[in-house]
A and B are shown apart, each in its own frame.
Chain A
């Protein structure tokens, strides 16, 4: 394994990486579907501007989750509200895709906690590897049970 890979893994382990990434992508996707000329948007006023404003703030929240994870709860709550708001302001939430990405990302961020025990399956495999000398039947025969949470992490 290359060293930058390890560094990236460690960086990723300290923040809600997938949550922030999905929220950022969601905001970006909604923005991409919005290309109405700014002249018209400004003419219509606040209501037209909101179509741009919401996805932009979504994108910023996603980036802030990645680079300032300490405030992740606040960002994720703002993120989920804005994601839902884009349904009204911005092409049905970027035709649903951006809205789903944004809501999923915000929820993953909200549910993220730092400094957790390793997954049970992972823990068991480690133990097996270290305790190779005295293999216990009960553990080596049963496959590591993937907990429900391991799928989302």
Chain B
């Protein structure tokens, strides 16, 4: 394409001296190469868009989805308020030959909690990467984090909970307060509203939760939540 002129312009200065042998001494190999200006045509708008996305997410204008597992991660929040709450036991399967499987055979017994609409204040999520933690905090300001169809598979859950209109002992396949169903014959409970203070969860998966994260901060830290 017609950007050999680009090359001269960007490297600037003098053209090659014509003397010094005949033309090209050893028939220089011609190979493909990255041209800086062409790269910038895409890199500059892409960076701008990426920055915009990050800023809009931090302001809570954009929702982001999480779907991670296999690595346990911790979620804490000072307050969780939700409408449409379900909880049932489940068995999570890791990907085949997952390095995190250990001696568990790749299966983890978890409690699945599903909340249709949730608001969380001072959300903190940390993943232990071995030595360092990836820390995500959000909702520290006046606007809380909101999540839709939040489904978490936890191995540990602690906090001060209160429920409204709770039904305990349903079959997990008959739940209807949120968008999750368990297997037949599994114990479960559901409630219209839920409030959990000082929430602390050790999760194996947060699935298809659309989060709006005002005041998002993503950083590496030596300590978790």
Show the binding face of A for B, using Cβ within 8 Å: 13-16, 18-19, 33-37, 40-41, 43-44, 47-48, 50-51, 76-77, 80, 83-84, 87-92, 95-96, 99, 103, 106-108, 110-120, 122-123, 126-127, 130-131, 136, 147-149, 152-153
Give the bracket for the number of chain B residues in contact with chain A. 35 or more
Task: Provide the bound-state CA to CA distance between A97 and B31, in Å.
Answer: 30
CB neighbours (8 Å) of A95 from chain B are 127, 134, 218
Query: Known: A95-B134, A127-B20, A130-B21. Contact between A33 and B68, CB under 8 A?
Result: yes
Interface membership of chain B positions 20-35, coded 1 if the CB is closer than 8 angstroms to chain A and 0 otherwise:
1100011011111111
Tell yes or no: B92 within 8 A of A by CB: yes
CB neighbours (8 Å) of B57 from chain A are 87, 92
Interface contact B11-A120, CB-CB below 8 Å: yes
Q: Give min CB distance, B136 to chain A, whole Å.
A: 8
Q: Give min CB distance, B99 to chain A, whole Å.
A: 11
Interface contact B32-A113, CB-CB below 8 Å: yes
Which of B20, B34, B136 has the most A CB atoms < 10 Å from its CB?
A: B34
Task: Provide the bound-state CA to CA distance between A90 and B67, in Å.
Answer: 7
Task: Provide the bound-state CA to CA distance between A105 and B31, in Å.
Answer: 19
CB neighbours (8 Å) of A13 from chain B are 29, 31-32
Interface membership of chain B positions 200-223, coded 1 if the CB is closer than 8 angstroms to chain A and 0 otherwise:
000001111010000000100000
Interface contact B218-A111, CB-CB below 8 Å: no
Q: Give min CB distance, B74 to chain A, whole Å.
A: 15
Task: Provide the bound-state CA to CA distance between A148 and B10, in Å.
Answer: 8
Interface contact B32-A15, CB-CB below 8 Å: yes
Show the binding face of B for A, using Cβ within 8 Å: 1, 3-4, 7, 10-11, 16, 20-21, 25-26, 28-43, 46-47, 49-50, 53-54, 57, 62-70, 92-95, 98, 127, 134, 136, 149, 151, 179-181, 205-208, 210, 218
Q: Give min CB distance, A87 to chain B, whole Å.
A: 5
Interface contact A111-B40, CB-CB below 8 Å: yes
Interface contact A116-B7, CB-CB below 8 Å: yes
CB neighbours (8 Å) of A103 from chain B are 43, 46-47, 50
CB neighbours (8 Å) of B42 from chain A are 76-77, 80, 106-107, 110-111
Interface contact B67-A34, CB-CB below 8 Å: yes
21 A-B interface contacts by CB (under 8 A): A14-B32, A33-B68, A35-B70, A43-B180, A44-B149, A44-B179, A48-B67, A48-B208, A50-B65, A87-B54, A90-B65, A95-B127, A103-B46, A110-B39, A112-B32, A113-B1, A116-B4, A118-B29, A119-B33, A126-B28, A149-B11
